[in-house]
Amino acid sequence: MHPLDILKNRKKKAQAEHGLGMCNITKCCTEVCPEHIKITDNAIIPMKERVVDEKYDPVRWLGSKIRKREGIV
């Protein structure tokens, strides 16, 4: 999400290794944060949206099926 981020594939790593899908967006972490950081609104929700866009995009899914069928992959 940051332009200087060194990880190129943070979306997959956040979903697979760090359990981004387990966060249920109840904002509990925001309510108890001593620094009043709105991590849910400013980071978790945008990251989940990016993961969903990449993982469940019907256009990408169709494109991958066409490429597999034609042997381009």
Spatial neighbors of 71 by CB under 8 A, at least 6 apart, are none
Report domain extents, the chain: 11-70
Give, for all 73 residues of the chain, the pLDDT tens digit: 566 767 777 777 777 777 776 777 777 777 777 888 888 888 888 888 888 887 788 888 888 888 887 766 5
Nearest CA to 25 out of 10, 49, 41, 9 is that of: 41
d(CA 53, CA 51) in angstroms, rounded, equals 5
Element (H, E) at 60: helix 58-70
Under 8 Å CB-to-CB from 23, ≥6 apart: which residues? 40, 44, 48
- Residue 14: predicted pLDDT: 72
